[in-house]
Chains A and B, each alone.
Chain A
């Protein structure tokens, strides 16, 4: 299958008063055309910064991409001129953000915010662009789109605003849609709706989707492949089924265990992963997860493990590589 996006050794740093933040550390992954890839990690794991770096949208200063390449449709995005990059953004690859309350401009009508990209990239006249925008709003399920398009963002509910964001992201039929935690700021009851809309539109249009989330369970019916990020690194990547049933990284196993426990609704067993992610300013030696890892051996504290293949399309960065299937089985029977 053709690789739509191929990220190699991406490194992003933030140069702050308190030191250099190692936000993205040697991240490599790819996304095939029409594929849905989930990126999972805690906040601060670098998942959003990775994608913002690929879009060249990190605030600079203080942020800076210090190495790597981001091949998109055969071109390295990091080497494009500002103008060339702009012609791709919102056009061939687009991004929707976490908080639809703050991500939409409060003083511009939805119409303006939607048509500006359509006019820019598709060269449509205003009336044409407006007709397209109405159509898009209808596709994401906004009732009365023809009238609602004249409204301001604050006149929509949170869920509706995120639909507007999605419509905006799809305005120019992108080949890749990056969804940066699009449900996090919304009420739980709306999560499924948003997921469903994106899934359906993806099927219709045949675009690829990168879905960033901290909620592994959200990706169950959505992603083809999942990347797990920790401390600015990819620690495991695998197809959905393999990751859910045969995780090999202790961090992934921990994440899955916490989901299982929630499923069981057994409060007494609810044990999240102890400790906090490392400070990305004083980047630790060895495996960044080692301080929190119950499987850690001496080597983990001195040497950072590389990503190694453990199955078909399945890679893990761990010296121990415990068999997640057994551990999950054990904890499941313990709760049962």
Chain B
């Protein structure tokens, strides 16, 4: 177990390391002069000022030196400052990160509860109208754009019924964005769950369990569900990542003040230090969460041995 953990940890660190290289290169991939572009929209900047900024950002040095500089700063918790307003990027991100995590985790819970339940029933009632209805709903569900679903939910629950505020960032406002993100992904989770449950239900050990004379509920709850849950836990990591990605869009629909909203704003403003910081934070969160979930998976599946 320890060895497996260390291996996963090293893999995660590797991913983050690659990310730091990628974000350093990012700015150089920009066609044209990034500094010009960054300040193009802001107040007129003199060529002298541009040079000054270039020097401050270290963009006048060789790329490997830039990387070492950047890494040095990042390791000290300095992600640079925003182009406009000169605020520390890390502070901006860390203030908003809990909002994004709250949204992602709540949505993940909705996704798993709705998706797994629907998939389970569809598999168990395979070939019946229940199955057909659920799976028709699922394929329509994966086809609906989340941002549109969000707008439709707003128009029903906020505008028509007045149940929830249209936008903002507090618990009362969490319901609609979480529902949007959760339902959008529940559709695909229900499809995954259905096929994995169909697989489980057709396994020989299910027949063995029935041959023992166990009641159907026990056959399902003890023999099928546990095996099915292993597959479900196995997809949690990827689902969380999808939630984080989906949050970027949904935050913007509901003006939910998370890092996704900040990211879109900084792309508009060509605020590269913030974009870089965002990508790094995003990758770090995703890596940490997937390591934790992998360990959980390894813990509940007795077949996995660690060596």
Chain A residues in contact with chain B, CB under 8 A? Answer: 55, 57, 59, 61, 86-91, 94-95, 97, 99, 102-108, 112-113, 116-117, 120-121, 152, 154, 165, 168
Contact = CB atoms under 8 A, between A and B. Distances in A.
Q: Which of B205, B209, B226 has the most CB of A within 10 A?
A: B205
Contacts of A108: 222-223, 226
B48 interface: no
Q: Please give me the 7 A-B residue pairs with the lowest Cβ-Cβ distance, nearest first.
A: A90-B212, A89-B213, A90-B213, A102-B204, A117-B212, A105-B205, A103-B204
A128 B222 CA distance: 21
B302 interface: yes
Given A89-B213, A91-B213, A104 B303 contact: no
25 contacts: A57-B207, A59-B202, A86-B213, A89-B211, A90-B212, A91-B213, A97-B204, A99-B204, A102-B204, A103-B204, A105-B205, A105-B208, A105-B209, A105-B226, A106-B302, A107-B226, A107-B230, A108-B222, A117-B212, A117-B214, A120-B213, A120-B214, A154-B303, A165-B208, A168-B212
Q: Summarize A's interface: helix, strand, loop or mixed.
A: mixed
Contact of A89 (B205, B212, B226): B212
A107 B213 contact: no
Interface residues of B, number: 23
A88 B213 contact: yes
A107 B204 contact: no
A152 B213 contact: no
A107 B207 contact: no
Given A99-B204, A116-B222, A152-B302, A105 B227 contact: yes
B212 A61 contact: no
B208 A152 contact: no
A86 B203 contact: no
A184 B214 CA distance: 26
Given A61-B127, A108-B226, A154-B303, A103 B213 contact: no
Q: Summarize B's interface: helix, strand, loop or mixed.
A: helix
B174 to A, nearest CB: 35
B210 A57 contact: yes
B153 to A, nearest CB: 38
B75 interface: no
A87 B213 contact: yes
Contacts of A112: 222
B303 A152 contact: yes
A94 B202 CA distance: 20
A147 to B, nearest CB: 16
Given A107-B230, A107-B303, A102 B203 contact: yes
Interface in B205-260: 205, 207-215, 218, 222-223, 226-227, 230
B298 to A, nearest CB: 13
A69 B204 CA distance: 26
A97 B218 CA distance: 20
Contact of B215 (A86, A121, A152): A86
B220 to A, nearest CB: 12
Contacts of A106: 205, 227, 302-303
B262 to A, nearest CB: 43
Contacts of A87: 213
A94 B211 contact: yes
